[in-house]
Structures are given as structure tokens and as C-alpha cells.
Amino acid sequence: MSTTLTPDAPGVSETTRKPMSKSKPAPRATAESMASKQRDISVSEFFAKNRHLLGFDNPRKALLTTVKEAVDNSLDACEEAGILPDITIVIEDLQPDRPASAKSSRYRVTVVDNGPGIVRKQVENVFGRLLFGSKFHRLKMSRGQQGIGISAAGMYGLITTGKPMVIHTKPKASQQAHHIELAMNTKTNRAEVTVDDETDDFPPRRFRSLTPGTRELAASSQFLADTDYPTGTSVSIDLEGKYQKGRGSVDEFLELTAIANPHARITFVPPTRESAADEDDVPLLRKNKDRELAEDDTSPPAEAAPPTPAVTTETGGVILFPRAVSDLPPETKEIQPHPRGIELGILLQMMKEAQSERDTYTLYNFLQDKFSRVSSASASSFCQAIGATARTKIADLDHAQSEKLFKALQDSKLPPPPTDCLAPIGVRQLLAGMLKGVRAEFYAASSREPDVYRGRPFQIEAAIAFGGELAGDEPARVIRFANRVPLLYQQSACSSFKAVTETNWRNYDLQHPRGGVPIGPLVIMIHMASVWVPFTSESKEAIADYDEIRKEMKLALQECGRKLGTYLKKRAKMRREGERRDVFQKYIGEIAKACNAISGVDAEELYAALLEQAKRKTAVADLELDEDGKAIKDKGADDADEEGVIILESAASRTGVDAHDSDAPPVGKLSRAEAAALKVHAMRGDDEPTLIDVKQPDRLTQKGTSSKARASKSPSKSPVPAAAPKPAADASAKAPSKPKMVLVNGKLVPKDQSPGLF
Amino acid sequence: MARKPAPKPAATGTKPVGKLPDRDVKTIGKLVGLSDMVAKRSMSGKDPLIQIPLRTKSNTNWNKKKGILEMGDATADRPLFDLKTAKQFMQTMLHASTIKDLIEEGKTSSLRGVFYKAKHTVAGTKENTFDTQDESDPILEDLEVSLGALREELHIFAENRGTLVGNITLVDKGDEINARRMGSGGWGIPSIVEPDVIRFGKCEAKFVLHVEKGTVWNRFNEDRFWEKHNCILTHGAGQPPRGCRRLLQRLNQELKLPIICVLDCDPWGHYIYSVIKQGSISLAFESSRLAIPEAKFLGIRAKDYDECDLGDAVKIDLTENDIKRANEIAAYPWFAENRHWRKEIELLLKNGFKMEVEAMINKGISYVTEEYVPERLKAKDWLE
């Protein structure tokens, strides 16, 4: 593939050069001749040549990175503006007639969001320049950091197809949308606009009739409906790419994004066909079941005010990741750097900047203004420490004093940085996300207290899912997130992966080969939230391995692991007791008969007495059976230790015991599954005291309380009122019954209905 | 629940025991006591368990004065509600029931017969109450010790094993057996040889020569050794069974015949001698009925390789297992306290090889019967 600009790129502007020095029959080069070739390198040029640094190494990854950058930007923009994100991703195959063997194809990626839009004069900067953005110069938690992403995607598209980026953006609901087409000039790092007009076509209407699936959804106002996108932005990029499902695919990215962002509604229209595979790929996560399911699902949700069930659905090839919670993540604050962990160079730079702000800036004020957690008392103690006074100006400090100051800052005992800059996903949301995407029997999540690395606050969260339908003897799957963005590549370079391998899973009754991930039906999720996530490269694929970070990760994993270990031990005990009872029951009949034959004792009576004893001896098996469902509910309220755990009915834990317990009807299963859902509801609010007001309350209202009556009855398929009439008791809870999982015949349904993750 | 024990409404259990011999009435009383104990504990909510005296080395005491092994007082609990013992508990009760039937019907049965009588599938499962006789036999021994009843009191017998020939007349259940006219096969020693079954008639023999196994016995019988030396010739097919040991003890105690053993020169031969002399660990509870503290060990001795000028062909290298066993035996107090035996085992280990009685044939077919044993007898060269 050519890396040079194609001809229809906008003209290259001249760059000024130094005049050539006189040529001499001279050695190979002189300082002058070399100087003639020395010139500025534009950032864009640099990255055009080093595109792998940005995640465009190969066509498949390029497609993923493009989607990822656009989606990240959309989510960030929506959240900053306090809008519940509604994002539609469309990938069109522009060469549908290509030979079947073609390894790559030309695609058009379009991402439409309902964000705040972009004012006209910033469009070129946002999309047409590398390293332009609102996120680099602040310490605030967001998905994007540098302002490279979307422009780089546009640049990649331009390089591979020569087509400019097409942008529709509508900052005001009452006005027309801007329609702009632009291409980046890599030499100048500036955008060249080719089309610039106003249009009513937002959200772009042509997508509604793209496929049978989109037509069907659009007919019920579920696809790019005008009302859902009063403002927003749509970006289209043509690029050479490769669409193929499996690990590291667009599909996986969106599924994981949906898990970490339960507040977002994501719609995905994949291309009509996959590219030819050139290697044995990991089997599809959602398997081909989807297809069949899509056909089975003949009744599309009702027309008026469709209440979206919180399970992933697929309609005619269009995948809908519904909104699972309608609370936006709490708004995060920008913070100043924390003195501890700052580097000398950065300190000097900050001093210089402060100086240029105001000549008379005193050290005393500087410390208080530019750092977090420095009180007036500590500021004056720093001044004292380096032999300065409260009135000493920064300008008057010599280098030795600066170094002294630096050292004093490092040794200081200041409170850790403020943490209102962090928006962790939260234990409840983690569990909700895992429940939705992973079909396991046991879920545990934990959220650590914020900590600091290099003066930057961060917070680690972990969750694990175990058992159920997960494959038993494979290495555990690790899913990683940074600021809610899934990380799909370079797993082994990631701090989180190292934390997983370094945690001693054997302590929790799991197999764990040395230096590897544990073996078992296990999914491990790690999330790092920080104002500045230290990635190993600009493509943001792996978290750098800071000791502080890894330590927190391990602690979070251990917390989850302990919960799992407890559960596994309990489960093993239940199973053992069940087996024991089996053995005892087998023999007591024979014993009663023998005793009767020997001494004429009443066999029935003896049998009854022995059975009574057998049951008592193996009471543990019973206890769990009868009370677990209830226990889970209770625990949610008062047992702090069991916080963040959900246990679903599993066939394994009941084998052998069920047979004898005719008293435990299938209702037990039902209430247990429901209890899990209830628990997710019940935990609401505990971990997130500040929730931003919801913009679209009509779509999904969520009430934390769900009547118990519902828990025991109404195994209704979905909360669509028309589809499943509910008992009267439910009337009050029409909206609230937002099921994390739906029950059919007493069984959990995410499995049947949603194309989940695994 | 589908499964339920289907015992008929009780009360058919006991049959009139009126005309049974006193001994049997006593045994049945013990069995009923066992059953009642289990039922009573169960009904009162206590753990049903059977206490079984331990038949292990740790519960075996060496009675130096009597020169026999005796069982100690230690018992093991066999609770029903324990995975390790639940099945054994059930099996014990089954056998108790089987034995009661045998006694009431006035029949006896072999160990194997009892195994088959109690073997069936557990109601509602595919599991057998007993899978092999190896499971069944120890349960019967458990019953013997826990009830304190002898095997014949339980109406159980083992297979005949061991053979006798010699200058004696025996009365077996009323039939006269002339052991002098047994041809080449000899008289098979039954498993129960109590006085009510076997009585001794005319006996000229002056001692009993006990050899390890049939092949050696055949050699001695063919050479008419018992005739020439006026003795009784027996073998126990390796480790002698209870019947054989009991008979030897009776010959020793009632007829005052010395018991002289010719066994292999290896740890197993030594242990056979030890069992005949002091009793065994697993049957320590019967030692007083079985042990013959006066029994003598004539050979083969470790010194014989040199003394008898045997060829290298008789040597069999000691295996690791042999050495281990020899050291174990050397540590048993009844060997350790005997200076001569200590030396014997030391020499065996020093030699590094063992010798079988048959190997003597290497020196001449009848060397052992015509030279070796007669010379040693004359010299009274034996170990005690």
C-alpha cells in the first residue's frame, strides 16, 4: 500500500527552506550541506510514516482503530455535555463485488452520535489536525487524551483511499447542520476544506434504508431517529480495511464498550460480508447462534415508546446494545497535579510558565495555585525548607533551590490528590455489565480506593465471572479497560495482565500455571480510571507497568479472588455434603432391613430415624439450597463482606442433591435468578452518591425498588407490556422492571435472547 | 420419593430358638445385642456406630510370659455417618443378619458362601453390597472380634488347607481316619478342628514335622520319613490357616508332641514360624487357641550354605522387599529379644541371599529327608 499522498489530496503548500550553500567538491557532507536538509518535521508527517504507533498497523486493526477513536470521542463529548450517549456505527462495504479471496476491502465507517456537536470554526481543528484537542492540557478523566485519534483515522483514510472525511455536525437543535468535507495536509498539519455548506440531513437519512435490518428498525423509530439526535455529529471516513469477526474485532470492541458503558445505547450495522480470513482466527465470541436467533425473533419491539430491554439484540444483522442504566457517570473535575510524584523537569516548566504569567508570582502562591493539596501552611513550610520566604518570587530562585524544592515536594507528607476527578464504573455497574455480557454462575466485583502514581490519581476496579457456560479448561479470559475504553491488543505488555499473572489464583482453588493466567471457566475484567492513563504507546493498547498501578490491580483481583474462593469452597462443600447424603441414604435401607431381620426392630421406624439423622448430618447441602436465594438478597443489604457478589443457579452446584429434594421446586431457581437482578438494583445508589440528571427519562426509567411479588411470579419474557401481560401487582412497576436478564420458564434468558459476549 | 426400604412389617425377625445348642443361643444373643444397640442409638438421635477391636500391630501386645501375641484393648469406631465407613457399617449389619440365619437353620457356610448370601444390589442403585470376597472376609473377622465369638460359633468355615500324614489315628465327626494309610495325598486338615469335630485316637508318633508347602511335604511323604522317624508330617500351604494351626496346637498341648518346622530361609519363612509359635497380628485375639510357644525352627538356616557345602545354585538374591521385611521382623520384640534369632536374621542379611527347602535337592534328591533333617534332629540343632 502506498504511503505517499494520492493525487487528489489537496495541494501541498511550500515550505520555506534555507538557501543551499555553494557546492564544493568536498567530503561526503559538511555541516552546511547537512543543514540544508535539516528542517521541521510536521507531526502529521511523522505519524503518516509511523502509523503503527497510532494503531494502524494492518487493515483489520485500522478499521478497529477508526471505529474506536470515533466512538471514544463521541462518548466523551456526550458525557461532558451531560447527554446520555446514543451512538450508531455503520460500516459499509464499498467493494461488495470484490473477489472472495480479497484480503482487504474499501470500507466507509460512519459514526453518528447525539453529542453537543461542534461549532463551525473548530471543525477543521478537531478533525484535521493532529495533537489538537481539549484533553491534553488538563488532568481530567476522559477516554481520549492527546487529540490524535480521529484526525489520525482521517489521515489514514486519506492515505489509503484519497477520500476526504465527511462531517455533519449540528450544534443547535433549531438550526441546520454543517456539512463539511475535509482532508488533512500532512505537511502543515492543517485541514483543507473541500466542501462546506449547510444541510438538513442530520442524522444522515440514507442509512435508514441501507439494509433490511435498518429499514425494519427505522420503521419503528429505533434507528437514527430524528428525535434521538437533536444535536450531534456524524463522521464518515473511507479507508482500506478488513472486516473480520473474532478477537480484536470491531464487534468485540463494541461489546466490551457496552459492558463498560452501560449508560450508552450503541447500534452497530456491520458490513454485509467479512473479508477472507488469512489465518485461523479465534472463533466468534457470539457464535453463529445470533443468526438463528435473529430469525426466531420475528416480533420486533412494539412501536410506541419502545422500552428497550437491557439485553443485546440483533435485528436483520443490526446489533443493538441497549442502555442498561440511565445514570450518566458522575461528572469529573479537572485537577492540578499533585506535588508528590511530579518530575523535576515538569516542575521547572511549571515555574517558567507561572513566571511568564506574572513576573511577580511568589513561590508561596505558586505552590498553592498550581498544585493540589498544598495548603497555606504546607506552602510556607516548603518555602522555609529551601530557605525562602513567603514573599520570595519564583524568578529569584536559583537552580539549586529548585532542586531542593523538588526534593522537599517528594518527601512531603501531603494528603493524596482529590479523587472527585475520577469516575469509576462502580460495583453495581460492573456487575450489571458482566451479567449482561458473560454467562457465568458467579460474579464478583470490587472497586479499590483511589491511589496515586506520579502525582496522578487513579482508581482500579476488577470483576470476575466464573462457571456457567464459560469454557472450563482454557486459560481465563482477561478483558481490560482504561477509562471505560476496552483494550484489545498487546495484552501481555499490559500492567493489568501482569497483575493477573502475578496474583496467586491457587489460593482461590483455581489452577494457575506459573507465569500464566489461571485456567478455568473464568473471565477477569480490570478497569483503570485515571486523569491520565499511562499507555505504552499512542495507540493506547496497554497500560504501562507502574508498580503503584500493578499493586492496586493485584489487590482488586485478590478481593475478587477471595470472594470466588469462598464461593468455590462453599460450592464444593455443598456438593460433598450432597454426595455424602446420597451414600448414607443408599445404605440405611439395607441397615434397617438387616436390623429387622436380626432383632425384629421396626424397619420403617428405624429407617425414618436414620434418614432424619442423615439429613441432619448433611444439613449444609440443604441449607444452601433452601436459603441461598434469600441469602443473596439479605446480603446485599447488610453483609458488607459479600458486597459485590452475585451467584446464579448452576446445575453443578445442585447435582446429586436435587434428586432427593422434592421440596425445592423450580421456583427456587426463578427466585434466585431474580434475586440476582434485584441485587443489582438494590445496590444502586450505594456506590454513586452523585448522579447527573438524566436527559431522556422517557426511554428507561429505573427504580431501585422492585416488588418481591414480581420476584416470585411473572417469569415474563420481556417488559414489553403488549407481549406479556403481567399480574396486577406489577402495574406499578411497569417501567422499573428493567431486567438485567429476562426470565422464561424460570430460566435466565440473557442466554437465549442476547448475543452475549461468551 | 421412589426409593423406600421395603421391609415387611417387622416381628418376623426372630424364630424360636428353643432347641438350639446353648452355644448358638449365646451367639444369637450377641447378634441381637448388636442390632438393638444400633437401633437404640438411631432412635435416640445418636450416631449409630459399631466398636471393633483393632487388629493392627499397634494393638498387638507381646506377652513375654506366655510367649504369645495378644490383642490389646484399643477399638475403632465404625460410625454409619462417615463416608469412609458407611458401606462397611452396612456390610457388617448384613453379615450379622446372614449369620443369624445360618445359626437358626443349623447350617454352616464357607466364607465364600456367606459372601454370596449377603451379596445383592443395594435397593434403588446399581451398587453391590459386596463386590468381591476380599471385601467380605475382613467384615466377618470384624464380627468375630466385636462379638467375641469364634468363627465356628458363627457357623462359618474356611476352605480346607494343609495336609497331614503320620502315625496317628483321628476321629473326624465320628469317622475314623487312619493317618498312616493316606497314600500319596494325605489327609486334608479341615478348617474347624475343635474337639467336638476332631478327636485324637491312637498315636505312636513322637513329634510333628511341619513343612512349609505341599511340594516339600510330598518329598518327605514319598521317602516315608514319618514312618522311619515315627512322627506326624504336616504342611500348611505357606502361611498355615487357622485349622492347621489349631490342630498343631492340640497335638502339642493334648498329646505333648514337639512341633518342629522346616521352612524356607527367608523373611517369609521366619514369619510363618513366628505365626505358628506366637500367633499373628490379625488373629491375635485367637492366639491362646492357636499359638505354640514351644515350636522349633529346624531350618533352613542361613549358616547351612557353608555348613552343608551347598552350591551357588541354591542362592536367590534378597530383593529390596525381602530386606525391608527382614528388618521389620528383626524389630518385632519377640524376635529382637531372642539373641539367636537376631544372629540368624543378621546372617541372612549378611549373606544377601535366601534359600528354599526345595533347593536342597541340588545336593541329592533325598538329601533333605535322609541327611539334613535327621542330622539336625539328632543334634537338636534348632532355633526356638
Residue burial B13-39, b: 16+ Cβ < 10 Å; e: rest? beeeeeebeeebeebbebbbebbebbb
Nearest Cα residue in chain A from B99: A598
Please compute Rg for chain A using Cα positions.
30
pLDDT digits (tens, 9 = 90+) for A600-613: 888 888 888 888 88
Question: What's the mean pLDDT when you consider all of chain B?
Answer: 86
Q: What is the 3-state secondary structure (H, E, C) of A265-327?
A: EEEEECCCCCCCCCCCCCCCCCCCHHHHHHHHCCCCCCCCCCCCCCCCEEECCEEEECCCCCC
Question: What's the mean pLDDT when you consider all of chain A?
Answer: 72
B305 annotated active-site: no
A-B contacts (CB, under 8 Å)? 120
Q: From the list B47, B94, B124, which residue is nearest A594 (CB)?
A: B94
Among the ranges given (A35-49, A530-544, A618-632), the one the predictor scored with the smallest mean pLDDT: A618-632
Among the ranges given (A741-745, B113-117, B360-364), the one the predictor scored with the smallest mean pLDDT: A741-745
Domain B163-379 has CATH 3.40.50.300: no
> What residue ranges of chain B are covered by domains with CATH 3.40.1360.10?
163-379
Q: Does the pLDDT at position A410 exceed 90?
A: no
pLDDT of residue A620: 62
pLDDT of residue A367: 86
Distance separating alpha carbons of residues A689 and A196, to the nearest angstrom: 45
**Given an 8 Å threshold on Cβ–Cβ distance, is A599 in contact with B96?**
no
**For the ranges A149-153, A729-733, B355-359, the one whose mean pLDDT is highest:** B355-359
H/E run at residue A227: none
Task: Kindly give, in sequence order, each residue whose CB lies less than 8 Å from that of residue A75, ignoring residues fewer than 6 positions away.
Answer: A85, A87, A113, A143, A257, A261, A264, A484
Domains of chain A (ranges, CATH numbers): 47-208+228-243 (3.30.565.10), 344-411 (1.10.8), 427-565 (3.30.230.10)
Nearest Cα residue in chain A from B45: A613
Q: In terms of pLDDT, which residue wins out, A663 or B161? A: B161
B143-157 mean pLDDT:
86
Q: Does the pLDDT at position A460 exceed 90?
A: yes
Distance separating alpha carbons of residues A284 and A249, to the nearest angstrom: 10
Nearest Cα residue in chain B from A597: B13
Architecture of domain B22-157: Orthogonal Bundle (1.10)
Q: Contact A169/A198 with Cβ under 8 angstroms?
A: no
pLDDT of residue B188: 92
Nearest Cα residue in chain B from A595: B35
A525-537 mean pLDDT:
87
Q: Which of residues 1-60 of B touch A (CB under 8 A)?
A: 1, 3-5, 7, 9-14, 31-32, 34-36, 38-39, 42-43, 45, 47-48
Cβ of A676: how many Cβ atoms within 10 Å? 24
Nearest to A645 by CA among A654, A635, A653, A655: A635
**Given an 8 Å threshold on Cβ–Cβ distance, is B81 in contact with A617?**
yes
Q: Does the pLDDT at position A18 exceed 50?
A: no
A433-461 mean pLDDT:
83
A662 neighbourhood in chain B, CB within 8 Å = 1
A334-341 mean pLDDT:
77
Q: Does the pLDDT at position A741 exceed 50?
A: no
- pLDDT band for position A281 (cuts 50, 70, 90): very low
Q: In terms of pLDDT, which residue wins out, A260 or A50? A: A260
Q: What is the 3-state secondary structure (H, E, C) of A634-695?
A: HHHHHCHHHCCEEECCCHHHHCCCHHHCCCCCCHHHHHHHHHHHHHHHHCCCCCCCCCECCC
Q: In terms of pLDDT, which residue wins out, A746 or B191? A: B191
pLDDT of residue A673: 44
Q: From the list B13, B34, B45, which residue is nearest A600 (CB)?
A: B13
**Given an 8 Å threshold on Cβ–Cβ distance, is B39 in contact with A601?**
yes
B237-247 mean pLDDT:
90
Q: Complex ipTM above 0.85?
A: no
A588 neighbourhood in chain B, CB within 8 Å = 5, 80
**Given an 8 Å threshold on Cβ–Cβ distance, is B10 in contact with A592?**
no
Please give the share of chain A, as a percent, with pLDDT higher than 70.
Answer: 70
Q: In terms of pLDDT, which residue wins out, A702 or A470? A: A470
B89 neighbourhood in chain A, CB within 8 Å = 587, 591
Q: Contact B256/B225 with Cβ under 8 angstroms?
A: no
Q: Which of residues 85-114 of B touch A (CB under 8 A)?
A: 86-87, 89-90, 93-94, 96-97, 100-101
Q: From the list B83, B90, B122, which residue is nearest A580 (CB)?
A: B83
**Given an 8 Å threshold on Cβ–Cβ distance, is B80 in contact with A610?**
yes
Interface probe for B, chosen from A573, A586, A590 (most Cβ of B below 10 Å), is A590
pLDDT digits (tens, 9 = 90+) for A378-387: 888 888 888 8
Q: Does the pLDDT at position A490 exceed 50?
A: yes
**Given an 8 Å threshold on Cβ–Cβ distance, is A601 in contact with B10?**
yes
Identify the residue whose cell numbers are 441432619. Answer: A616
Residue A83: left if φ>0, alpha if ψ -120 to 50, beta else—which one?
Answer: beta
Among the ranges given (A189-193, A681-685, B297-301, B369-373), the one the predictor scored with the smallest mean pLDDT: A681-685
A599 neighbourhood in chain B, CB within 8 Å = 13-14, 31-32, 35-36, 39
Residue B172, judged by CB atoms within 10 A of its CB (0-12, 13-18, 19+), counts as middle
Among the ranges given (A139-148, A525-534, A735-744), the one the predictor scored with the smallest mean pLDDT: A735-744
**Long-range CB contacts (within 8 A, 24+) of B9-12:** B9/A602, B9/A603, B9/A604, B10/A596, B10/A600, B10/A601, B10/A602, B10/A603, B11/A600, B12/A600
Q: Does the pLDDT at position B5 exceed 60?
A: no
> What residue ranges of chain B are covered by domains with CATH 1.10.10.10?
22-157
Q: Does the pLDDT at position A414 exceed 70?
A: yes
